[in-house]
Structure 1
Amino acid sequence: MKSDIHTEQIKFQESDYFKEKSKERYKIEAKNSELKHRHGYDVAESSGLIGMQLQGAMAIFTVNVKRILTLMNKK
């Protein structure tokens, strides 16, 4: 027997909205994986909130610059 929450979740997963969004999810996960594994976004290198924010900002900035350079080289 399934609870109401499980039944609602099953209905949601069968909806067109969920299917459409799940097809795009792999793009987001690929970027998250790149940030974590190639640019050190998975482990904090310093203590404190400021240090973590700085590390996150630098990792995201680096990925964005790499993407911009890739797009510029394609033209």
Structure 2
Amino acid sequence: MIQLQQTLVISPYLDLYNLVIPRDNMLRQINELVDFSFVYEELKQNYCLDNGRNAIDPIRMFKYLLLKAIFELSDADIVERSKYDMSFKYFLDMAPEEQVIDSSSLTKFRKLRLKDMNLLDLLINKTVEIA
């Protein structure tokens, strides 16, 4: 399973999120209300589990695209903002000091994993439905 490839992020700075991101923050609420594990199920046929290096977590990649849709930003802008916007990092399940992806990874994710753009719409609609 693709989620077995993921690593647990342990950081001494995770408590910062509770200090700087208010409880009523939209991204905090989405993150707490929605179980994004459905992304694994929807995308599992688009990943090879026994060949090549580990993939960037599909949930994180999907969340980048969700942020892009919510805030109407370009790939480069969404990645740039995720470098310093703590609510973005929290939403992406990143440690505050963790490095962000390269914006070209979003293009590759869309082309290789979301071959059918209706799948992105399906995933976004499912997220809204769950929330």
Please, what TM-score do these two structures have when normalized by structure 2?
0.21
Higher relative contact order (CA 8 A, sep 6+): 2
Please, what TM-score do these two structures have when normalized by structure 1?
0.29
Question: Which protein shows a greater Rg?
Answer: 1
Higher helix share: 1
